Every structure is written in structure tokens, then in C-alpha cells.
Amino acid sequence: MRKTESPLTSTTRMRLDKWLWAARFYKTRALAAENIQSGHVSVNGASAKNSKEIGPGDRIQLRQGQVSKTVIVQGISHQRGPAPVAQQLYVETAESIAEREALAQQRRLAPEPALAIAQGRPTKRDRRQLQDARQTPDWDQRWSASWHD
């Protein structure tokens, strides 16, 4: 590439997996292809294959972990460049940004899972009491799950 050329080329179409890699949604092209095949990526509302040709104006919905994003393709780049250049390849929709922020807010306000445990791990005293209870003669009869009781 010459210094005067822009990494955003005038070519109008490109493979979906290459574009996702060049736009830095996935670290490797193989990861992009794997997510496309598993159904985490759709183009213009339809499921897509790795070789799906995309161009400017196409709407791509993708899911990375729990985060869903909807982006509109603005440009095509045949090489993976720095992040500021990759961000010029797409624009995220306002609905997608609002949904991500709402999900992030919900995660921040969610209670700590460890606080839901009322008693926590049994203490040494609790374990001894349980062991003593198991040694009583009617322990097996009380907790039997046999069908002929």
C-alpha cells in the first residue's frame, strides 16, 4: 500500500469473515468463522455463511459473549489495521448502543451471587451434627427413595 492510499478500499464487496476480522470484532479470522457458523452473526436479518459477500450499507447483527451489537458497514478494508482505522469501517446503531448500556447497568446493579448463600459452607460443628444424625438407626429409613416403601 502506498502512503497516499487509504486502507479503506473502493472495492464494494468482501467476505463476511474477513470483514469481521479486519474490523477487529474477532482476534482471528478462524474465530470469526466459528462464530458465523454457530449462528452468532446475521446479515440483514438472515443467517449468514463465512463466504457471504457484504458491502457498505449492510446491517450486521453479532453476539460476543452476552453482548449483542448491530452495526452498519461503512467501508471495506482488505487488511487488518489499527483500531482507529477499523472503527471507520462501521457505525453501531443507536438502539444497539442503548441496549448494551442497559445491559451493563443491569450487571452493575445485580446483587452479588455470594450474598444469596444464606449459610455458606458448613462449619466443623455442623458437619459433626450431620455425621451424628447419619449414625442414628432410622437414618436410612427416613431418607429411603426405594419404590417398595
Q: Which domains does the chain have, with CATH numbers?
A: 14-109 (3.10.290.10)
CA-angle at 110, arms to 107 and 116, nearest 5°: 140
The predicted model gives 70-78 an average pLDDT of 92
pLDDT value at position 23? Answer: 93
pLDDT category, 88, cuts 50, 70, 90? very high
pLDDT value at position 92? Answer: 93
How far apart (Å, rounded) are the C-alpha atoms in residues 101 and 66?
A: 12
Maximum Cα–Cα distance across the chain: 88
Q: What is the pLDDT of residues 16-44, one digit of tens each?
A: 999 999 999 999 999 999 999 999 999 99
Can you list the positions of beta strands (E) in 1-149? 14-15, 41-43, 46-47, 53-54, 59-64, 67-73, 90-92
pLDDT category, 2, cuts 50, 70, 90? very low
pLDDT value at position 44? Answer: 92
What is the full DSSP assignment across 71-92?
EEE--B-SS---HHHHGGGEEE
Q: What is the pLDDT of residues 94-148, one digit of tens each?
A: 999 999 999 899 888 887 776 666 777 778 998 898 888 888 766 666 555 666 6
pLDDT category, 5, cuts 50, 70, 90? very low
